[in-house]
Amino acid sequence: DPDHSIHPASMTKIMTAIVAFDLIKSGNLNLEDKFMISENAWRLSSAGYSSMFIMVGDEITVDNLLKGIIIASGNDACVALAEGIAGTEAEFAVMMTAKAKEIGMENTNFTNASGINDPDNVSTVRDVMIMSNYLIKNHPEFYKLFSEKEFTWDRTGGDPITQGNRNPLLYKNMGVDGIKTGYLAVEKYSLSSSINRNGRRLIAVGSGFESMNSRSRESAKLLTYGLTNFDLVEIAKANEPIDNLDVWLGKEKTVSVYAKDDIYKTIQKAKKDQLKISLKYNGPIEAPIVKDQVVAKLRVVYDQELIGEYDLLAAKDVKKVNFFTRLMKSLNYLIWGDV
């Protein structure tokens, strides 16, 4: 059940990174910004949790903290980044939950930045997939960090420490390039993984695996099954004409419509004939029409189920004809049914 409530464990760190990436993208955070490490953040590294091994009083760049989170899965780095951005980890968790709601994660609530066990830090497999997809789609320049296999931190008071990425699928010859593992005693093992092969991007999310081996094995099976049995079908390309719709009382008889974003659907190969695409609108569309006005819907039905409905926008302005022309067109329509 993709909507069954789970504890996302360290998959929580995907959202921790997303919040930081969004701030960097908007110009409100810089990779070279430095945050002072608090005792609160350091305490996690001394408590046996997965850590970057930061020390109280260290000043660490956002760049290094992100690597410590993404590659080394450092819980201490999560707290340090959260405190540096929001003042407290609790306030940062509020930002995380707000972002989750914004991108459609309807059953998620974050209470911390690391995923350390908290009964109220909850999500679902579906929501983790939505979060993972948002990361890949909106931050491709940062997503490559999730495929890095090791990170070396030149720590204070000790030799540099090199830690490997905990994602086991990165070390298999199958093309996996992310994303994040998780483990909690109450949830067992979890993994959000992704593969990009021949231009096709697949994401597989699983939780509740009994062992690290079963997590790795079953996640690899999911990705392989998806590549073998499903195709990515292009429904529409962003900003390209889809159809011409009839216009009523306009200086032009039709108006071209387009979708604002690319529309793709992953469809089972054996059921490709069950994919149906249609336009929904009240036509003919009455002028005047303003460029980029929503004038229709594109509906995607698969196996008799509606799997997507998207706004279609007018490609240009269409002005209304003058009164005399409107009168003649109205009479013509009444007599002949011609718009």
Active-site residue, selected from the candidate residues 38, 45, 73, 219? 73
Q: Is the pLDDT of residue 208 over 90?
A: yes
Query: Is the model's pLDDT at 81 over the cut of 80?
Result: yes
Range 112-122 average pLDDT: 96
The yes-or-no verdict on residue 186 having pLDDT over 70 is: yes
Tokens coding 201 = 């991007």
Active site annotation includes 13: yes
CATH code at position 286 = 2.60.410.10
- pLDDT value, residue 198: 85
Structure tokens, 110: 């974050």
Q: State whether 30 and 47 are in the same domain.
A: yes
Last-in-domain residue among 175, 209, 231: 231
Position 89 pLDDT exceeds 60:
yes
Last residue of a domain, one of 211, 231, 251: 231
Is residue 212 pLDDT above 90, yes or no? yes
Number of compact structural domains in the chain: 2
What was the pLDDT predicted at 327?
Answer: 54
Does residue 123 carry a catalytic annotation? no
Distance CA 74, CA 249 (A): 64
- Is residue 50 domain-shared with residue 167, that is, in the same domain? yes
Q: For residues 329 and 326, what is the distance between their CA atoms, to the nearest angstrom? A: 5
For residue 243, pLDDT over 90 is answered with yes
pLDDT (0 to 100) of residue 91 = 99
Q: Amino acid identity, residue 216?
A: S
| 193 and 299 in a common domain | no
Q: What is the mean pLDDT of residues 131-147?
A: 98
Examine the domain organization and report whether 141 and 18 are in the same domain.
yes
Q: Domain check: are 219 and 250 in the same one? A: no
- Residue 199 confidence (pLDDT): 82
State the amino acid at position 298 in one-letter form: L
Q: Are residues 150 and 281 in the same domain?
A: no
- Could you tell me the residue range of the domain that residue 82 belongs to? 5-231
From 231, 247, 275, the end of a domain falls on: 231
According to the model, what pLDDT value does residue 115 have? 96
Q: What is the pLDDT of residues 155-166, one digit of tens each?
A: 888 899 999 999
Q: What DSSP state is assigned to residue 60?
A: E
Same domain, 251 and 288: yes
Q: 225 and 241: one domain?
A: no
Average pLDDT score over residue span 87-103: 99
What integer is the mean pLDDT of 196-207?
A: 92
Q: For residue 157, what pLDDT is reported?
A: 81
Q: Are residues 34 and 167 in the same domain?
A: yes
pLDDT, residue 337, reads 59
pLDDT over 90 percentage in the chain: 87
Same domain, 84 and 167: yes
In whole angstroms, what is the distance from residue 190 CA to residue 178 CA?
A: 13
pLDDT above 80 for 249:
yes
Strands (DSSP E) contained in the chain are: 5-6, 34-36, 59-61, 123-124, 150-153, 161-164, 176-184, 188-197, 200-209, 230-236, 241-248, 254-258, 263-268, 275-280, 285-286, 294-302, 305-314
| 162 and 40 in a common domain | yes
pLDDT in tens, 164-183: 999 999 999 999 999 999 99
Please report the pLDDT score of residue 331 as a whole number.
Answer: 61
What angle (nearest 5°) sits at the alpha carbon of residue 69, between those of residues 63 and 75?
A: 130
Residue 308 confidence (pLDDT): 96
Position 156 scores a pLDDT of 84
333 has pLDDT over 90: no
Same domain? For 207 and 251 the reply is no
pLDDT at 99 over 90: yes
Mean pLDDT score, 39-59: 88
- pLDDT of 321 reads 86
What is the torsion angle, in degrees rounded to the nearest 10, for the CA atoms of residue 309, residue 314, residue 320 and residue 326?
-50
Provide the CATH number for the domain around residue 126: 3.40.710.10
Residues in the chain, overall count:
339
Active site residue 114: no
Phi-psi group of 170: left, alpha or beta (phi > 0 → left; psi -120 to 50 → alpha; rest → beta): alpha
Q: What is the per-residue pLDDT for 339?
A: 55
Mean pLDDT score, 226-235: 94
Instruction: List the catalytic residue out of 13, 67, 180, 188.
Output: 13
What's the pLDDT at 1?
A: 87
The average confidence (pLDDT) of the chain is: 94
pLDDT (0 to 100) of residue 329:
58
pTM of the model: 0.85
> What is the β-pairing status of strands 161-164 and 150-153?
antiparallel
Residue 149, pLDDT > 60, answer: yes
More confident residue, 89 or 338: 89
CA torsion sign, 240 to 242 to 243 to 248? negative
